[in-house]
Amino acid sequence: GGPPRGSRGGGERQGDTEKGRLLVWRYEGSKTLEEYVQASDFPLNLEDPLFRARAPSKEADVEKRSAAVLREVVRSALQAAKAMHSGGVVHRDVKPANMIISERDSGPTILLADLGAAVDLRNGYNFNPDEGLLDPRYAPPEQYVLPQTVPRAPPALSAVLGSPFIWAQYAPGKFDTYAVGMMLLQMGVPQLRKSESLQLVSRRIAECGGDVEEWRERFGQNLDFALLDRQNGAGWELVTKLVVDRSRRLSAARALGHRYLKSENVGGPVSPPPEQATSPLGSATLRR
C-alpha cells in the first residue's frame, strides 16, 4: 500500500533537474511488456492487467483468449506510434522493454516509454543522418529513420516548412512499424519469446534478403505459428506487411485498419484505409 517509492503522494514522482527545478511525473506502473512476454505463462498473464474489468471468461478457449491479448497489445503499440507520428516524432526504439503496463484503473493500459532515441522531424531535434540508434532485434533493415542523403537538422523555420515534404517522401514513421511487426512475430511464436531467439531470427531474416516469408519456409518448420495463423492467417499476414522493406511496409494508420485487429467474430477481411502522408504541422506538441 501507499504511494510508490520516491513519490510524494498522489502517485506522482519528483526529480531534480540541472537548473534546480522539479520534474514531476505521474506513476503509471513498474512492469514492462517485456517482463510479461518473458514469463512462462504469457500471454494469459497479461489478460487481467490488459482488459481489466473486460477480461474474458476463464472458461473461454485458451488459444482464442491468447490471441485476443496479442491483438490488443499490437493495437495499443500501433495507436501509440500513430499518435507520435501525427506530431512529427519517430520513436526509433519501439520494443516490449519500452512499453509500460499501466496499473491505473483508467486510461490507456499500455504506454510507450523511453523517448531518448526519438527524433522530432518538425524541428530536427535529435536527428543526425550519420547516426542510427537501434536495437538489432527489432530494427528495420534500413537502420536509419531517413536516408543519409538528407542533410543535418536545418534552422527551425526551414525544418518546420520542410517537414511535410520529408514525411510524404520518406515515410519515416515506418521505422517504428517494422518494430511492431517484429514484436508481433515474437509474441505470436512461443519459441521466439526469449531475447536470444529473436536476435537469431533477425539475422536469419537478413540472410533471406529481408523476406520473412522465405525465412518461415526455410527456418520455421519446427516453430508454432498457431496464434498467427488464426482467422485465415490474419496475424501472419500483418507480420508480412510490417516486416518488409520500407516501400511496401504499412504505416501505423494503415496497419490499424488491418483485418487482424478486428474481432474474430467479424467475418471477412477489412481493407486498410487509404494511405495518407501525415503532416506534423498543426499537431499537438509532444512533451519530453
Scanning 191-281, the segments in alpha helix (DSSP H) are 195-207, 212-219, 226-242, 252-255
262, three cell numbers: 478486428
Residue 36: Cβ within 10 Å count: 23
Choosing from 93, 120, 135, 176, the catalytic residue is 93
112, three cell numbers: 510507450
Measured CA to CA in angstroms, residue 127 lies from 14, 155, 200 at distances of 29, 13, 29
Do the bridges between strand 89-90 and strand 119-120 make them parallel or antiparallel, or are there none, so unpaired? Answer: antiparallel
Look-up of cell digits 511464436: 189
* Beta pairing partners, 149: none
Q: 101-125 b/e with 16+ CB inside 10 Å = b?
A: bbeeeeeebbbbbebebbbbbbbbe
Question: Rounded distance, CA 133 to CA 102, Å?
Answer: 26
| List of E strands, the chain | 12-16, 22-26, 89-90, 99-101, 110-112, 119-120
Measured CA to CA in angstroms, residue 31 lies from 65, 198, 210 at distances of 21, 21, 32
Measured CA to CA in angstroms, residue 90 lies from 126, 151, 259 at distances of 10, 17, 25
Active site residue 130: no
Nearest alpha-carbon partner for 272 in 231, 242, 245: 242
Active site residues: 93
